[in-house]
Amino acid sequence: MHEPASVRRYDNALIEPAPVRWLLIVVTLAFLAVFLLLPLVTVFVQALRNGVSTYFSALTDADTLASIRLTLVTAAIAVPLNTMFGIAAAWAIAKFEFRGKTLLPPLIDLPFSVSPVIAGMVFVLLFGSRGWFGPWLSEHDVKVIFALPGIVLATTFVTFPFVARELIPLMQAQGTEEEQAAMTLGAGGLRTFWHVTMPNIRWGLLYGVLLCNARAMGEFGAVSVVSGHIRGMTNTMPLQVEAMYNDPGEYSAAFAVSSLLALLGFVTLALKNFLEWRHGSELAALRGRG
């Protein structure tokens, strides 16, 4: 109140009036509470609605356990494959110059603009009983669609860009000087990669793997097309949630299995935020890229 009027006017021009600020904060918190917090709370409330014993019996159900196993196996194949791809693609794009390089990142991001249902469907068109390779596959008694290979293919497709799109900007920002120094000092290619490149990219790599894994374990649409929905056989955890949800007697069980997936999401978020907080400066190239 003791400031000269001109200073106050200057401040007013730099920040919104207090009522506007409060309104924006209240709207932000209300929007996030309604759209994020409430759905999350609902999962746990519905899961525990019929008591703890029902909750645990839903989780130890044979079909549920089979779906957990299938989800873990699928992620254990899809995530390492996409990680290897991500490292290879980032190495080629970030460390070398070649023609058509600028075309690659948009192509790598392509699966993000393809509906998960279409992602699953392309494999049905290729490997389904009436697909291109369908007759050949059934002659040789190989099952792809409605079996593990199809589920892995669909999952790998939808999680394809995650690691690559984190590593490419990170490795581009780091350039090639350190690697070149190591090579001229006599280190071999692999040694250079492990001891020079890897320490620089490990947090970005972990970040990408984390997001890739969360999507791989939680994918629904793409897997739904190729799975065949056989309980205890080809149902992943999200499909098991759907199967239970559609059975009136298992409404609460569906939320119990969901709560496990929600926990996975929770852990993913916590680790993601930890990485951003602890190694934020190293990951600076990644920020703002979802």
Partner 1 sequence: MSTAILPSAAAAEMSATAPLTLPNPARSVRGVLPGFGLSLGFALSYLSLLVLIPLAALFLRAAGLGIEGIWHELTSARVLHALGLSFGGALAAAAINTVFGALIAWTFVRYDFAGKKLFHAMIDLPFALPTAVAGIALTALYSEHGWLGAPLAQFGIHVAYTPLGIIVAMVFISLPFVVRTLEPVLEEAEQQLEEAAATLGATRRQTITYVIFPTVAPALLTGAALAFARAVGEYGSIIFIAGNLQNVSEIAPLLIMIRLDEFNYGGATAIAAAMLVISFAILFGINLLQAWSRRHA
130-169: contacts with partner 1 (CB under 8 A)? 130-132, 153, 156-157, 160
Query: Minimum distance between the CB of residue 189 and partner 1, rounded to whole angstroms?
Result: 4
Query: Minimum distance between the CB of residue 235 and partner 1, rounded to whole angstroms?
Result: 11
What's the half-sphere exposure (Cβ side, CA atoms, 13 Å) at 144?
24
- Per DSSP, 111 falls in state G
* Residue ranges in 113-132 that form contacts with partner 1 under rule CB under 8 A: 113-118, 121-126, 128, 130-132
Tokens of 186: 């006599």
Query: Minimum distance between the CB of residue 239 and partner 1, rounded to whole angstroms?
Result: 8
- Per DSSP, 60 falls in state S
By CB under 8 A, residue 219 contacts partner 1 = yes
Tokens of 215: 């999507």
- Residue (59 or 114) nearer to partner 1, CB: 114
By CB under 8 A, residue 14 contacts partner 1 = yes
Among 3, 8, 27, 195, binds partner 1 (CB under 8 A): 27
Query: Minimum distance between the CB of residue 33 and partner 1, rounded to whole angstroms?
Result: 8
Query: Minimum distance between the CB of residue 199 and partner 1, rounded to whole angstroms?
Result: 17
Which span (51-59, 60-68, 173-181, 201-209) binds partner 1, by CB under 8 A? 173-181
Among 59, 148, 187, 206, binds partner 1 (CB under 8 A): 187
State the residue for tokens 């899961």.
47
Binding mask 269-288 for partner 1 (x = CB under 8 A): xx-xx-------------xx
CA distances, 282 to each of 192, 193, 235, 258, 288 (Å): 20, 18, 39, 34, 14
Nearest to 74 by CA among 154, 158, 152, 143: 152
Query: Minimum distance between the CB of residue 1 and partner 1, rounded to whole angstroms?
Result: 20
| Cα–Cα distance for residue pair 185/173, rounded to 1 Å | 23
Which span (59-67, 136-144, 198-206, 214-222) binds partner 1, by CB under 8 A? 214-222
By CB under 8 A, residue 200 contacts partner 1 = no
CB 258 within 8 A of CB 241: yes
CB 165 within 8 A of CB 109: yes
- Residue (61 or 224) nearer to partner 1, CB: 224
Nearest to 120 by CA among 148, 157, 161: 157
CA distances, 158 to each of 1, 51, 151, 153, 261 (Å): 59, 36, 11, 9, 18
* Residue ranges in 30-89 that form contacts with partner 1 under rule CB under 8 A: 31-32, 34-40, 42-43, 46, 81, 84-85, 87-89
Tokens of 197: 């490149």
